[in-house]
Amino acid sequence: MDELTIPARMLASMMDRVSMGLLVLSPDGIVLSLNRSVEWITGVDPAQALSRPCCEVFSSALCEGRCTFLETVATCRSSTAVDLTLPEKGGERRSITKVFTPVSDESGSLLCCLVLLQDHSAFKDLIRRVRHEDRRQKMILDNLDTGVLTVDRGGHVTFFNAVAEALTGFSRNEILGRPFSALFRKNAGREAALLLETVADGQPRSGGEGEIATREGGAVPVRTRHMALRNEEGRVVGGMTVLSDMSLAYRLDSAIKGRFTFYDMVGRSPVMRKIFDILPVIAESDATVLVEGATGSGKDLVANLIHNLSPRAKKPLVKVNCAALPDNLLESEMFGYVKGAFTGADRDKPGRFQDADGGTIFLDEIGDMPLALQAKLLRVLESREFYPLGGRKVVKVDIRIISATNRGLEDMVREKTFREDLYYRLNVMRLSLPSLAERRGDIPLIVGHVLKRLGSVRKTGDIRVSGPAMEILLNHDFPGNVRELENILEHAAIICRGSEIEPRHLPPYLKVKASREPEAPAPPESLADDRDALERRAIEKALERCGGRRGEAAEILGVDRSTLWRKMKRHGLA
């Protein structure tokens, strides 16, 4: 349990900075960790709660006479949400939403349980005290540490607070007037229906787990709470939705399970969106998949995604790097051997294919597999059976095969270094991953995603990349692709002592390359001139890369189209 307690407490420490309560329980209901918000909401002293059974620590009011822990585990539900009220002094009642999420390992065994507590009392008090049209309410909502938006009776957004802007990357001017459902990528119809029902009858409702869209084309996992807004006469004039960011809880779940979802694979370029669209379809089938792409482009991540989105997700995912094992060991490693098969084989040993029975086997660098072993792999693909090394009894397995290569298998077939029949067996479904140089528009998005993850792990808070440093990254060819970019950012995050990564924090080889680029025709006469020159140059390069398409250039630069147009006019580029 020690291995689990450390990341659980780390997450609780991070969650101390927000108003949502986080409680982490062991599989047998022991309290492993709780943050300050749990203490504030429930009145429980952390020193008296840790290492004790949950049922002994918390009052029956928090559980309303029923154990959500046992119910959720017994029914194997992935998540349970319960609305409840807690009594306070003076007869007041506090409105709470409790979300209970079990976390399991790859074999399905329970590792821990997350309990999230969201207190809605402050929002209800706001709605009770302040008119819907009052500017003071909007000022208060704008300074909360939770995402909040309001809608009219037709479901169109009328207010979007600062945290919601930070959560999505959209400015409120881009969101105002849009339909509420347009903000969501997952369960949009259900969330819109719940909000409209709340507006219709005035009763608050809790939504489920959804995904709110971001400006970069990604998504953030959220949980929603819908409430009605009334005017001075008590008539419902609209609704309010509270957005609880579930990213931190997701990251703990992902770290413990070693699993991945689309939140870890980011991209807004057309080619990446096509991959995102087809991945769930491929995952649902049991077809053999061939993933092609350069080193560091994310082939391993795609294999994880396909497995974890498939019906085999609760079974093993076994990975074999065909280039990392010597030829004389590869066969015994993959197919196993029987006692006496060779000198030193003093017992039967199952291979990776047997380990993957019922699940998925991922054969990385399949192009490096020797020809002799390719014939044996072909039989496994055709009949799902094989003979262990030295064995006379056939072994049958139920597996899905995903293979990956950074080499052109078609060229290898022509050169007779890869079996043609095996190539066609592997190439039932093919995914080709683009290099990072082919989707430079995704670099700012990936940078933000990686830095957010590094900031959470290292507890350094938010880190951003300065304009000059981003320009260096955008102009680099990235032969190591996303893996190289991740390593560059980790290097810079370690060197950087503040909240902004400057060119001096980047690895030396990047700065040397940048210094060799041709200088501007005339040196700047002041710091303001220097900034203007850098800004003009960045705009010119973005426009050149996008063929003059201002919308795409604005996305690369991370600004609105109107802002780009204004800057272009200032620099004489419009």
Q: Does position 516 have pLDDT exceeding 60, yes or no?
A: no
Query: What pLDDT is recorded for position 142?
Result: 57
pLDDT at 423: 93
Six token digits for residue 150: 């309001």
- CATH T-level assignment (fold) for domain 2-119: Beta-Lactamase (3.30.450)
- Three-state secondary structure of 304-324: HHHHHHCCCCCCCEEEEECCC
Give residue limits of the domains in the chain. 2-119, 123-252, 260-432, 437-570
DSSP state of 157: E
Contacts of 108 (CB under 8 A, 6+ apart): 314
Which pTM was predicted?
0.53
User: What is d(CA 561, CA 544) in angstroms, rounded to the nearest whole number?
Assistant: 16
Q: What is the pLDDT of residue 524?
A: 43
Domain 123-252 architecture: 2-Layer Sandwich (3.30)
Question: At 171, which helix (H) or strand (E)?
Answer: none
- The pLDDT of residue 424 is 92
Out of 52-61, 284-293, 435-444, which region has the weakest mean confidence (pLDDT)?
52-61
pLDDT given for residue 362 in this prediction: 95
Mean pLDDT score, 80-106: 67
DSSP 8-state symbol, 30 = B
- Topology of domain 260-432 in CATH is Rossmann fold (3.40.50)
Residue 121 pLDDT grade (very low, low, confident, very high; cuts 50, 70, 90): low
pLDDT one-digit tens code per residue, 319-371? 998 888 887 788 888 888 888 777 777 788 888 999 999 999 999 999 988 88
Give me the pLDDT at residue 397, please.
92
Domains 2-119 and 123-252 share a fold: yes
Q: How confident is the model at residue 287 (pLDDT cuts 50, 70, 90)?
A: very high
69-78, 80-89, 471-480, 498-507: least confidently modelled range: 69-78
Residue 33 to residue 155: CA distance in whole angstroms: 39
Q: Quick check: 95 and 83 in contact, CB under 8 A?
A: yes
The CATH code for residues 437-570 is: 1.10.8.60
Instruction: Give the Å distances, CA to CA, from 463 to 71, 162, 212, 453, 458.
Output: 41, 19, 22, 10, 11
